[in-house]
Structure 1
Amino acid sequence: MTVVMTTPAFAQEAAEASAGDIIVTARRMDERLQDVPISITVYNPEQLAARNIVNSTDLATYTPSLTVNGRYGPDKSSFAIRGFSQDLNTAPSVAVYFAEATAPRLSSNITSGNGAGVGQMMDLQNVQVLKGPQGTLFGRNTTGGAILLVPQKPTDRFEGNVEGTIGNYDQWRVQGVLNVPLSDSIRFRVAVDRNKRDGYIRNRSGVGPSTFNDIDYWAARASLVIDLTPDLENYAIFSWAKSDTNGYMGKYAYCNRGTVAGSDGNIGTALTSRAANCTELDRQTAARYGYYDVANNNQNSFVKNETWQAINTTTWRASDEITVKNIFSYGKAKESYSFNLSGDAFLLPGDTVPRSFVITNPGPDGGQGDQWTLSEELQLQGHTAGDKLVWQVGGYLEHSAPNKQQTQYTAILSNCVNQADVWAFRCSALGNISIAHNNYFYKNYGLYAQATFKLTEQFAITGGIRNTWDRVRVEADNIQVIRNAATGVLTYRCARAAQPAGGATAAVLTNGACGIGRSFQTRSSKPTWLINLDFKPDPDTLLYAKYARGYRGGSVNEANLQFEAWQPEYVDSFELGAKTSFNSGDVRGNLNFAAFLNKFKDQQVSVFIPQCLPLTNANGVPNTGGRATCTAPAPTGINGIQNVGRSELKGVEVDGSLMIGDSWRFDLGYAYLDAKVVQGGGTVTNCNNAAFNCDQASGFAKGTILPFAPKNRVTLTATYTLPLSEEVGKVSFGATFTHTDKQFSNHGNDRAFAQGAIPYNASIAPATDLLNLNFNWNSIAGSGVDLAVFATNVTGEKYWVASSNGLASSGAEWILLGAPRMYGMRVKIHFGS
């Protein structure tokens, strides 16, 4: 097995076409990669295995221009391409497709990947990362790009394999594939994957799990191809995955020591926990906590996910020139989680049990997310003789709704020791329990057409247009339960809406009073388009120029009074590219280049607006930071999405391969990205200054660098294959080096750092230099046995991937740590053909 770069250049090595070219479906039809005028990164199965790519976080580690938002841990990471990221409850900026069907939606109370889950890297034909707006041919229009997961299709050969992996952190993994031709016209394939590994974050509190950031999942897939007639094929896939981990845990980075008056984390409600967090940080330092050591206080920490999806694709070759294709999908996704949202565990005066600022919990009767999704797409594809005109038209429909009530119990400043205490409101008097009942309903429709016309044998022009209709509706019922410090009496009130008739009583828990008038919806209908000009001076060279309009629909963040809905965002994308390949005897290779400019407007940005404080509290004690004009303080601050600002995202991408003889291969991938706000969004509309500190809204200012947009990223791979006979087998050694510049995960710590209130800015994830090594011996002694030894992050670099953005609300900050050195060994046994 050869280890290569994660770039389009890998195509030359994949055995996916008789000529050695890789075939991609980036334009919804089979095409040679080097002929597609799109910037694409492609992985084949060997490359996925060589890098030990198991989930979305692993995929982004080695792909230029692709990053992930890992704030909520690897199970809930979301993709970002070229600086287009996903925040809170926004739709993904990068769409994920499996077997050409959109992934099931999952809308809970924190960011979710919506399709980049566990078990999906199993038994794949390839993974295609499409960069830039893909709003013509793909549903759920997105601004960043698309990731296409293409499973291995059943073949006409009896074959299969069994693979076992062992590694450090007590990892063990077993995979198996069986392919059976049931008849000349029926083919069946099944694959299973069981993966388990301890976490690398060590819990030293003795409460709850002993480690975090672990892996523990089952996955299975079955597929069936039936040739109903020589021209009519039915392809059915059923996939299922279930994960049950301890979740993630943040590590204390620093606290605001209170030396700068008025700085973030040193005013308002953050004063309650700031000093206690500093004390706990000092305790952990004195106790010599290691880099991967944390202290958990949530007895029931877990993240559980389960997804299944059935996809049926019918392809009818109506004639030599026309093909009809129908893709139907139905799936369900659900999740339930309980974890400390930051990573804190501190004692306030009089406490005997540590508390946290925020711990999330599922409701007693259901989890935070439980959604079904149905999609239907009808395509009509055609071409004329000689492919002078190639065209396609289609329609897309998607509906998604809850399977049942989606509920989250959030313990704020709580010392509850388990979920039963949370559900029974047996928590400390200081904090409160917030109960959120949120149900999300989606309806999406699209009509599209695209055609490529050859002006000459060298020039071609492509044009496409799509119109999308999006509707999002959310039903919300948000309640707060507060315990009186002196009497223990509970007060029930609506968290965001006006108080219900009858007062703050337990009735709001059952009569839906907090949900009256709390159903919101947004509608949008916008066109997107594509214009592309290709020039092929020779069969091995492609030059192209492209303009595309991208669009991401609006949605609802029901928890924020006055700021419930936001509108669509748009991007105008301009790209110039070149793809070349060469073959000069023993020296072969290719070089691809793309330069792009994205003009981004009406950005969907997470905006935090703190609630205001009156001059004095209820006991007449002066409030730090209070003001006379704060006459109706909100119970909590606003933390939701607003359409603010304009940005420009520009850069270049280069990838190439060089193969010398049959032994040496060198691969390069490089991405440069400059993603900045050009028109600030520091103010918001409809803000009630009597309830909030509207002037402290955290919208992006002009010059702000967008999150998850490192300026430089480079990946280098060298592979040497020993010149051995087939009787010995194929033996190779590979090394991959990846450098990623520093990048913002958020901007929540910028102001405090500029004021000198904190020692460094944890919102900036540091630059990383990661080295991976592997050894592969395929067909050992001519047998059907393969052996692989791998190691990732060989140098043991310590780094973090995101921060919790908790400074302003709790007076301290936590970081999410990247994976340490991992190593292991795989043995794969092939059988059959």
Structure 2
Amino acid sequence: MKSLTRVALVATTALAWTAPAFAQDAQAGRGEANGNDDIIVTARRSEERLQDVPISITVLSQDAITKRNIVSSVDLGTYVPSLSTNQSFGAEKASFAIRGFTQEGKTSPSVAVYFADVVAPRSNGGTTSGNGAGVGSFMDLQNVQVLKGPQGTLFGRNSTGGAILLVPSKPTDNLEGYVQGSIGDYNMHRVEAVLNAPLSSAIRVRGAIDWNQRDGYLHNKSGIGPDDFGNTNYFAARFSVVADITPDLENYTIGSYSRSNTHGVLQRVSGCNRNYASAFGLVGLLGPFACGQVDRQNARGDGFWDVDNNDPNPQELIRQWQVINTTTLKASDTLTIKNIVSYAEYRETADFDLFGDNLISTGQPLNFGNLGIGVGAAGICSFGSAGCTTPLVLPTVAGQSLPGITLHPGVSGNNSAQSTLTEELQFQGTLADGRFNWQAGAYLESSKPLGFNTGTTQIFESCTDYSTLQCTNPLLIGSLSASNVKDTFNSKAFYAQATYKLTEQLSLTGGFRYTWDKVMSESRNVNINIPTPGTAVYSCQNVVKFNGGDISIPLIVEGPISAKCDDVLHQNSSRPTWLIDVDYKPIDDILLYAKWARGYRQGAINSNNLGLEIATPEKIDTYEAGAKTSFRGAVPGYFNIAGFYNNLTDQQLAVNSVVAPQFQGKVPNAQPIVNAGKSRTWGIEVDASVRPFTGFKFDVGYTYLNTKLIEFTQPPLPIYYSALFPSADVGQSLALSPKNRVTLTGTYTLPLDESVGQVSFGATFTHTDANRGVSPNVAPNYLLPAANLLNLNVDWQSVFGRPIDLSFFMTNVTNQKLVVYPAGTFTTNGQITGQLNQPRMFGFRAKVHFGN
């Protein structure tokens, strides 16, 4: 494939010099709009001018996406100040947060992602993934629209934070397309191609592909497994067809497929708890070995992006396909009927070390007294009890590998496998000579598991082959945890929204939606104890439930998926959401608006969190006022500002649990989602652009966000947890909520003759304040550091009048070193670990385009 890329680049360049310059003027249509008047958005499910929509929106055109080298969700978050990403498990699985509303664990997304008016297919594996913009989503788009604030009327599903709309390029009447090849450091090779063709006067088709490979930026120093992590390796394809069945009836079908197969990412252990001698629990047991890993890394002279892997077969494999069909009937001049139906399947196979630890003994003994395990005349006993005053101490051999926690695929081979069917019927119309615009509709979603979502978690077991139980238990508390879950979702809704122009300047908008959500989770979670390699004793993981809390009588079963361990949970909810908006246009170039919006996010189920499996829905009220202004003349541009206040109740908040000593090895560590209480957020968002002189464009995006957890009500602590650590304490800010975030982009186009082409230089600087990560509120590593990122691009369009574009791009120019996800293991395993950002990267692109 690498040779194929080089051939594509050579062919691209050769074709450019020989092909005629079909339509250089069309480049302007693919670029960013001049000012804001030409930007068309679909934020209210119909096409409108951006400056006429009373919503805080950031829009990126396909040209802006390409220049900024936006490939993943993480890249998008870099350029939208109000948008943060949770990168805990890598770029392919990142989830979005807007205005402090974060998806944590197995909750539904707080930011709904839509592609071609269809919500992203569900995924509900053991780690946050899916439900968003997967690999290949950012190719061949008309634009990306980031809508801030709850969109609970027209976009409905769990959009308490906002919604992201990916609008694909629709087939046109023109024969046109392009081939684009990229190369860069870290052995990056990428090929993109688009072909649009009219098959007849009534049928138009469009196809696009995106193949991207790049070596990982995390260098593995252990000699176990691959040489690198954080690599890129995906293929995505899309095919769409538009058929004009009659002059008033259109059928639009999109089929897409993507496959990403990488090594995944790996956290780096950067520090340890040196006070392990006096610490209780796993810190006392594992502290010496965690510090040994840190000392070993320092002795080797490891750099910031060097990691130490202990999983021989790490993998992150994600496959997704989807078909969307939209039928639009213009029933009359005042009524349009649209039906949108889709079906998608999502599959994920994951294998990775949870905390990036590679614990190797230097000969120090294992002291189990810190875990409450002692030895007496009768053998192993509870340390400190009568007749048990000697801690159990076992010797180790220098160089002996001690296990951590590793996640593997389960017996089905899929950590997540889910299908999603959606159906939406829309009616849109106008009355009273266009003064009254309305729309109404019905929505149905049915998401079903494609068999069991299964995973095997290797917990302090030393395994040469976990699938055949070739494991030993050097820490005495180890086991394998087999998670087998089927999650079923059903959502129904009816909605209506209308805008009435009271006068030519004053309009009133009202919207209402009622949603019914049902979630069912069937789990068969099994604990596997291995007395000797190759043998196993299977017992129900939720033995506490089945035996009334008595873990001395394990419920023995026959295998890793046993119906005897069947536990079925339900979470049903129904809620109204609404919108009331008043907007006023004193002149065409000024829009003033004020609104009140209600949003809600459905409840969640996570069967692994024993005793804390169910979280009920959360509710948000948002009050927002804003202004959108455009100015013309010698210095054209726009300035948009919005202020908001959010009141969130019954908030779904992640808390980390510490398993009580007597349940170690029998109950898994977990991160329950609880309805923590109340929080409030308020802030200001600014989006502006100006052209102070010919050739120069300056864009500014700024968000000030002030969040606070007002009330936290801890649920009753189940007997098998000794503590719960929330990601924020009362009075503190919420996760992924930087107080100040600003993005500055400057683009200068040289004053060259048209025969030379258009040469521009662009730079984007983003500052993000330090903020709280999605991890326990425990020092010293729960904060994300402040970030200052600089990205550059140079573009030469229509080189010497030929249909070729050349580009250079560089990200993280200053090579800033950042922890983008801190893990909360300091008080449990005695480690300071975290997920790292991408270092400086650069590349070159060559693009040949043809047609109109």
AA aligned to 2:443 is Y
Cα distance in 1, alignment partners of residues 85 and 404 from structure 2 = 26
Displacement of 1:72: 1.1
| Partner of residue 88, structure 1 | 105
Cα distance in 2, alignment partners of residues 434 and 654 from structure 1 = 48
Cα distance in 2, alignment partners of residues 248 and 533 from structure 1 = 47
| Partner of residue 623, structure 1 | none
Cα distance in 2, alignment partners of residues 670 and 763 from structure 1 = 25
AA aligned to 2:286 is S
Question: Is residue 349 of structure 2 the alignment partner of residue 336 of structure 1?
Answer: yes
| Partner of residue 626, structure 1 | none
User: Could you say if the C-alpha distance between residues 651 and 290 of structure 1 is closer, same or farther in structure 2, counting changes exceeding 3 Å?
Assistant: same
Any gaps of 5 or more consecutive residues in structure 2? 1-27, 366-395, 548-552
| Partner of residue 497, structure 2 | 450
| Partner of residue 274, structure 1 | 287
| Partner of residue 384, structure 2 | none
Question: Is residue 657 of structure 2 the alignment partner of residue 606 of structure 1?
Answer: no
* Comparing 88-97 and 69-78, the one that deviates more: 69-78
Cα distance in 1, alignment partners of residues 123 and 667 from structure 2 = 28
Cα distance in 1, alignment partners of residues 540 and 657 from structure 2 = 19
Cα distance in 2, alignment partners of residues 817 and 637 from structure 1 = 24
Question: Is residue 635 of structure 2 the alignment partner of residue 590 of structure 1?
Answer: no
User: Could you say if the C-alpha distance between residues 87 and 356 of structure 1 is closer, same or farther in structure 2, counting changes exceeding 3 Å?
Assistant: farther
Cα distance in 1, alignment partners of residues 207 and 403 from structure 2 = 45
| Partner of residue 496, structure 1 | 542
Question: Is residue 521 of structure 2 the alignment partner of residue 521 of structure 1?
Answer: no
Q: Deviations over 1:737-780 (max 9, x none)?
A: 11111111135252xx3xxxxxxx32111111111111111001
Q: Deviations over 1:305-364 (max 9, x none)?
A: 000000000000000000000000001000001001111110255365534421000024
Displacement of 1:103: 1.1
| Partner of residue 469, structure 2 | 424
RMSD: 2.2
Question: Is residue 754 of structure 2 the alignment partner of residue 706 of structure 1?
Answer: no
| Partner of residue 375, structure 2 | none
Partner SS for 1:280:
helix
Cα distance in 1, alignment partners of residues 33 and 242 from structure 2 = 19
Cα distance in 2, alignment partners of residues 414 and 345 from structure 1 = 13
Q: Which aligned pairs between 1:133-144 and structure 2 lie closer than 5 A? A: 133-144=150-161
Cα distance in 2, alignment partners of residues 488 and 364 from structure 1 = 16
Partner SS for 2:360:
coil
| Partner of residue 758, structure 1 | none
User: Could you say if the C-alpha distance between residues 728 and 247 of structure 1 is closer, same or farther in structure 2, counting changes exceeding 3 Å?
Assistant: same
AA aligned to 1:740 is T
Any gaps of 5 or more consecutive residues in structure 1? 1-10, 615-629, 754-760
AA aligned to 2:565 is C
Question: Is residue 721 of structure 2 the alignment partner of residue 692 of structure 1?
Answer: yes
| Partner of residue 674, structure 1 | 706
Partner SS for 2:288:
helix
Partner SS for 1:808:
coil
| Partner of residue 772, structure 2 | 744
Instruction: Check conservation: 2:186, 2:216, Cα contact below 8 A.
Output: yes
| Partner of residue 118, structure 1 | 135
Q: Which aligned pairs between 1:34-113 and structure 2 lie closer than 5 A? A: 34-113=51-130
AA aligned to 1:421 is Y
Question: Is residue 672 of structure 2 the alignment partner of residue 640 of structure 1?
Answer: yes
Q: Which aligned pairs between 1:392-407 and structure 2 lie closer than 5 A? A: 392-407=439-454
Displacement of 1:232: 0.6
| Partner of residue 630, structure 2 | 581
Instruction: Check conservation: 1:610, 1:692, Cα contact below 8 A.
Output: yes
Cα distance in 2, alignment partners of residues 673 and 235 from structure 1 = 40
| Partner of residue 519, structure 2 | 472
Partner SS for 2:332:
coil
Question: Is residue 798 of structure 2 the alignment partner of residue 779 of structure 1?
Answer: yes
Question: Is residue 146 of structure 2 the alignment partner of residue 129 of structure 1?
Answer: yes
Cα distance in 2, alignment partners of residues 298 and 269 from structure 1 = 21
| Partner of residue 201, structure 2 | 184
| Partner of residue 241, structure 1 | 258
Partner SS for 2:839:
coil
| Partner of residue 572, structure 1 | 621
Instruction: Check conservation: 2:356, 2:833, Cα contact below 8 A.
Output: yes
AA aligned to 1:172 is H
Instruction: Check conservation: 2:775, 2:823, Cα contact below 8 A.
Output: no
Instruction: Check conservation: 1:416, 1:422, Cα contact below 8 A.
Output: no
* Comparing 640-649 and 156-165, the one that deviates more: 640-649
Question: Is residue 165 of structure 2 the alignment partner of residue 148 of structure 1?
Answer: yes
Cα distance in 2, alignment partners of residues 510 and 578 from structure 1 = 57
Question: Is residue 591 of structure 2 the alignment partner of residue 542 of structure 1?
Answer: yes
Cα distance in 2, alignment partners of residues 597 and 13 from structure 1 = 36
- Pick one of 500, 505, 509 that aligns with 1:462: 509
| Partner of residue 659, structure 1 | 691
Instruction: Check conservation: 1:159, 1:178, Cα contact below 8 A.
Output: yes
Instruction: Check conservation: 1:496, 1:560, Cα contact below 8 A.
Output: no
Instruction: Check conservation: 1:633, 1:691, Cα contact below 8 A.
Output: no
Cα distance in 2, alignment partners of residues 423 and 526 from structure 1 = 48
AA aligned to 1:251 is R
Partner SS for 1:509:
coil
User: Could you say if the C-alpha distance between residues 15 and 156 of structure 1 is closer, same or farther in structure 2, counting changes exceeding 3 Å?
Assistant: farther
Cα distance in 1, alignment partners of residues 720 and 481 from structure 2 = 19
| Partner of residue 16, structure 2 | none
Displacement of 1:492: 2.2
Displacement of 1:717: 1.3
Q: Which aligned pairs between 1:258-269 and structure 2 lie closer than 5 A? A: 258=275, 266-269=279-282
- Pick one of 321, 326, 333 that aligns with 2:339: 326
* Comparing 392-401 and 768-777, the one that deviates more: 768-777
Q: Deviations over 1:536-585 (max 9, x none)?
A: 0000000000110010000211112221111000110010100000112x
User: Could you say if the C-alpha distance between residues 488 and 429 of structure 1 is closer, same or farther in structure 2, counting changes exceeding 3 Å?
Assistant: farther
| Partner of residue 833, structure 2 | 814
Partner SS for 1:125:
strand
AA aligned to 2:658 is P
Cα distance in 1, alignment partners of residues 332 and 571 from structure 2 = 43
Displacement of 1:415: 2.5
Cα distance in 1, alignment partners of residues 848 and 811 from structure 2 = 23
Identical columns (%): 46
| Partner of residue 617, structure 1 | none
Question: Is residue 726 of structure 2 the alignment partner of residue 726 of structure 1?
Answer: no
AA aligned to 1:494 is C
AA aligned to 1:140 is R
Cα distance in 1, alignment partners of residues 544 and 745 from structure 2 = 60
Question: Is residue 248 of structure 2 the alignment partner of residue 197 of structure 1?
Answer: no
Cα distance in 2, alignment partners of residues 499 and 596 from structure 1 = 45
Instruction: Check conservation: 2:608, 2:668, Cα contact below 8 A.
Output: no
| Partner of residue 3, structure 1 | none
Displacement of 1:385: 5.1
* Comparing 164-173 and 384-393, the one that deviates more: 384-393
Q: Deviations over 1:75-112 (max 9, x none)?
A: 11100001100000000000110000111111100111
Displacement of 1:194: 0.2
Displacement of 1:636: 3.9
| Partner of residue 487, structure 2 | 440
* Comparing 337-346 and 601-610, the one that deviates more: 601-610
User: Could you say if the C-alpha distance between residues 213 and 307 of structure 1 is closer, same or farther in structure 2, counting changes exceeding 3 Å?
Assistant: same
Instruction: Check conservation: 1:373, 1:398, Cα contact below 8 A.
Output: yes
Instruction: Check conservation: 1:748, 1:807, Cα contact below 8 A.
Output: no
Q: Deviations over 1:716-746 (max 9, x none)?
A: 1111111112111111111111111111113
User: Could you say if the C-alpha distance between residues 20 and 545 of structure 1 is closer, same or farther in structure 2, counting changes exceeding 3 Å?
Assistant: closer
| Partner of residue 21, structure 1 | 38
AA aligned to 2:715 is V
Displacement of 1:815: 1.2
Cα distance in 2, alignment partners of residues 395 and 315 from structure 1 = 15
Displacement of 1:525: 0.4
Displacement of 1:483: 2.5
Partner SS for 2:126:
coil
Partner SS for 1:46:
helix
| Partner of residue 345, structure 1 | 358
